[in-house]
């Protein structure tokens, strides 16, 4: 069995450090990934994917990346049970294991 995902997209916002209770740095970011095909209206839609990063992966991403940069992420999909609006539900989130810095937001 295999749980692995590879994403390449553009950062939609600034990446900021979140200190965990255990002292490990973490961060959350959103990747904008345009689809490679047009919808029924002839428009290319974009998916916005939430990604969590921990430890040195988070620290390096915070230090070297900013809004608009293109990055590649290799990670896993994790299912998490939450309660929202008095309703129990499951959500999937991407946990990054590796980040590759591909370009900055200036079109490089």
What pLDDT, on the 0 to 100 scale, is given for residue 106?
A: 57
Q: What is the overall mean pLDDT for the chain?
A: 90
Residue 75 near residue 98 (C-beta atoms within 8 A): yes
CA of 84: how far to CAs of 12, 49, 78, in Å? 25, 19, 18
pTM of the model: 0.82
Q: How far apart are CA 6 and CA 106, in angstroms?
A: 23
Domains and CATH numbers, the chain: 5-103 (2.40.50.140)
Quick: pLDDT tens for 49-80. Answer: 999 999 999 999 999 999 999 999 999 999 98
Answer whether residue 30 shows pLDDT above 80: yes
Q: Are 27 and 62 in contact (CB under 8 A)?
A: yes
Q: Is the pLDDT of residue 105 over 70?
A: no
Dist CA 18 CA 16 (whole Å):
7
Q: Supply the DSSP symbol for 58.
A: H
Distance (Å, whole) CA 52 – CA 42: 32
């Amino acid at each position: 069995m295999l749980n692995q995902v590879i994403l390449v997209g553009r950062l939609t916002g600034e990446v900021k450090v979140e200190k965990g209770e255990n002292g490990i740095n973490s961060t959350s970011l959103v990747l904008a990934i345009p689809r490679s095909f047009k919808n029924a209206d002839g428009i290319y839609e974009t998916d916005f994917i939430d990604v969590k990063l921990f430890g040195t992966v988070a620290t390096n991403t915070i230090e070297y990346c900013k809004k608009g940069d293109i990055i590649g992420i290799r990670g896993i999909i994790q299912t998490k049970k939450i309660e929202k609006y008095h309703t129990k539900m499951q959500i999937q989130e991407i946990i990054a294991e590796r980040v590759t810095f591909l370009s900055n937001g200036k079109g490089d």
